Amino acid sequence: MADDSKFPGWHGTTIIGVKKGGKVVVAGDGQVSLGQTVIKGTARKVRRIAPGGHDVVCGFAGSTADAFTLLERLEAKLEASPGQLQRACVDLAKDWRMDKYLKNLEAMLIVTDGKELYIITGAGDVLEPEHGIAAIGSGGNYALAAARGMMDSKKDAESIAKDAMAIAADICVYTNGNLTIEVIDG
């Protein structure tokens, strides 16, 4: 069994980003759990930010306070480099890995401007996922597998994201079917 002693008992979520047909959809479930108890079922873990007039959609998994800290930092990076999502993500990942305070944050992000899709981790990673799908959180692998199985179908990005999240919610006890969905054109 994994050692969870360093965590306060918060578990999971599922966030997925699907890029297909000139659109990117980011969807996240609404469940917040503390140990084996569901604290809230309608949390919004997918948000739209618009630094410098450029729309960016972000989804987060992990500690909410930590994720909001990272979203604020990402927004500042995007204001400093308008329209340069990759540069802002790399700058955030560098800070996250090297800054004494940020280094301890427990969260992951999926970010997109409709053209690019990235996963940002505290290990200093900025990952551009294969097959146009990014997924994070406790149900992320289930949603990723489900979405990959649907990418060659006639379904659009939003349908794939919704269906993949439904599958993840059926499998992962830390994921529910109350979705927040943001769509952004590429």
Which pLDDT does position 3 carry in this prediction? 47
pLDDT above 50: residue 159: yes
| pLDDT value for 11 | 53
Q: Do residues 122 and 108 lie in contact, with contact meaning Cβ atoms separated by under 8 Å? A: yes
d(CA 46, CA 59): 4
For the ranges 28-37, 40-49, 130-139, the lowest mean pLDDT is seen at 28-37
Length of the chain as a residue count: 186
11-182-111-13 Cα dihedral, nearest 10 degrees: 10
Distance CA 115, CA 72 (A): 21
Per-residue pLDDT, averaged over 137-151, amounts to 97
Backbone angles phi, psi at 162, to 5 degrees: -60, -45
Task: Report which of 29, 65, 34, 46 is spatially closest to residue 139, judged by C-alpha positions.
Answer: 29
Q: Pick the catalytic residue: 13, 14, 112, 175?
A: 13
Beta-strand relationship, 117-120 and 14-20: unpaired
The highest-confidence range among 3-12, 56-65, 147-156, by mean pLDDT, is: 147-156
Rounded CA Rg of the chain: 16
Do β-strands 180-185 and 133-137 pair in parallel, antiparallel, or remain unpaired?
Answer: unpaired
Q: What is the DSSP letter of 148?
A: H
Q: pLDDT tens for residues 66-89?
A: 889 899 999 999 999 888 999 999
- Which CATH architecture describes the domain 10-185? 4-Layer Sandwich (3.60)
Residue-level pLDDT at 50: 79
Q: Is it the case that residue 124 has pLDDT exceeding 60?
A: yes
CA atoms of 52 and 102, how far apart (whole Å): 24
Per the CB < 8 A criterion, the answer to whether 70 and 59 are in contact is no
Over residues 90-101, the mean pLDDT reads 87
pLDDT tens track for 2-30: 444 444 444 578 999 999 999 999 999 99
pTM, to two decimals: 0.91
Would you call 69 a catalytic residue per the annotation?
A: no
pLDDT of residue 1: 42
